[in-house]
Amino acid sequence: MKLLFALIISTTTILGSFAIQAKEINGKMPDFTLATVAGNNVRLDELKGQVVMMNFWATWCGPCRQEMPALEALYKRYGKAGFTILGINIENSANSSKRTEIEKFVSEKNLSFPILYDNKKVVTTTLEKQFLGKNMGMPTTVFLDRSGNARFLHEAYKPGDEKKYKKMIKTLLRE
């Protein structure tokens, strides 16, 4: 019985360490301009006045792929309230076959929010240095307030996390 209890406690401790939750952060997200799948550019500073959800993802990431329909639903629900999502793909989109794979995925999932290419990892590296202090896992999501300040950081994804996202979005929209 003691052995079973010890096993349960150690398993809970190990599994608990993988449960990454959203954390509050505070800092100015530097301006950037990235190309979109649609062929235009998005400049972060032009989005001031909106709540921005920056979602860093890759096509090879299972949880990223799983999360995308939930992000699309959030975009449709809160878009008219002053909210937008930037889906920032971190793969080498300079490679034409990779770019085609990304575009195909976006089309298959009917994603209407902007999907940006960060193939040189400029924005990714900034986020890692300024807010994470480590290499970023996939997916990673950052919420910016209307002034462009990074306020919340969420790493990983599991079904149900969109409920946490809704709370963060509503908090920032109310400010």
| pLDDT for the residue 21 | 60
| pLDDT for the residue 17 | 32
Distance CA 9, CA 83 (A): 42
Distance CA 64, CA 157 (A): 7
Number of other CB atoms surrounding residue 87 within 10 Å: 26
What's the predicted TM-score (pTM) here?
0.86
Distance CA 3, CA 21 (A): 30
| pLDDT for the residue 2 | 42
Q: Which alpha helices (H) appear in 51-145, and where do they start and end? A: 62-78, 96-108, 122-127
| pLDDT for the residue 118 | 96
pLDDT along the chain (175 residues), means of 10: 37 35 84 95 97 97 97 98 98 90 96 96 92 91 97 95 96 96
| pLDDT for the residue 16 | 35
The full DSSP string for 134-172 is SPPPSSEEEEE-TTSEEEEEEES--TTHHHHHHHHHHHH
Distance CA 102, CA 146 (A): 29
Distance CA 167, CA 117 (A): 27
